[in-house]
Amino acid sequence: MNQENQLQNQRPIIDKEVSWDKTQVIMSKTNAFGIIEYANEVFIDVCGYEDYELMGQPHNIIRHPDMPKVIFKVLWENLKNGKNFHAIVKNLAKSGRYYWVITDFDIAKDEDGVIVNYFGRRQSVPQEVISLHIEPLYKKLLQIEAASGVEFSEKYLIGFLEEKKRSYVEYIKELIFEHEKAQAKFAQYEEEDGEEEERGFFKRLFNR
């Protein structure tokens, strides 16, 4: 067990959400191995660590034990292949409280095409999406991991998504999109007739 995991295990887990300004974007930059090199003020405010406690640390410093391993496995498979990935993640603040986010990444490569940095941007996720869909799914994945390992939580996730005829990213996009539509938050949805190309959806979500 590495030092960060030990620290993580020593932290109290408090089943309460961090109170934060959910209009803000939480941003961090890492090297190719996920070691934190920069975090914006929102990141610092939400997770409760000081800059000096984060820089040089692996990003799993804010990993929440309720997160199934398989989600990070798929995330890293995409990032290492130079592909953006949108994951819904429960993070652990220094206080022991949690905060849910959806991710968006930029990947910087050197002139030889070797990945040198990742830029992670995170937005809040509607509570209803979490409690109705993501929490039950992640709970199952976590239970499967505890019983039979990540190999089988991955198989379950594949089966779950096959049944829905969606990739993971398509699935979470649809959950958020449907929620927003139901809330009639954005008038243009009606004009779009529910159709929005995936890239366009996440660009709008992250104001890009």
Ligand X SMILES: Cc1cc2nc3c(=O)[nH]c(=O)nc-3n(C[C@H](O)[C@H](O)[C@H](O)COP(=O)(O)O)c2cc1C
62 lies in the binding site for ligand X (CB under 6 A): yes
Task: Please give the distance of CA 147 from its chain centroid, rounded to a whole number.
Answer: 24
121 lies in the binding site for ligand X (CB under 6 A): no
63 lies in the binding site for ligand X (CB under 6 A): yes
Q: How far apart are CA 4 and CA 63, in angstroms?
A: 10
Q: Using an 8 Å Cβ cutoff, are 86 and 104 in contact? A: yes
Q: CB atoms < 10 A from the CB of 191, how many?
A: 7
96 lies in the binding site for ligand X (CB under 6 A): no
Amino acid type, 68: P
Single residue of 39, 54, 74, 89 touching ligand X by CB under 6 A: 89
In the complex with ligand X, the residue whose CB is nearer, 30 or 201, is: 30
Distance of closest approach, residue 160 Cβ to ligand X, in angstroms: 21
In the complex with ligand X, the residue whose CB is nearer, 46 or 129, is: 46
In the complex with ligand X, the residue whose CB is nearer, 34 or 181, is: 34
Q: Are strands 36-39 and 88-92 parallel, antiparallel or unpaired?
A: unpaired
Q: Using an 8 Å Cβ cutoff, are 152 and 175 in contact? A: no
91 lies in the binding site for ligand X (CB under 6 A): yes
The two tokens of residue 66 are: 């309720």
The two tokens of residue 205 are: 């979500």
Single residue of 30, 57, 78, 124 touching ligand X by CB under 6 A: 30
Give the binding site for ligand X (CB under 6 A). Answer: 28, 30, 34, 59-60, 62-63, 69, 72, 76, 79, 89, 91, 118, 120
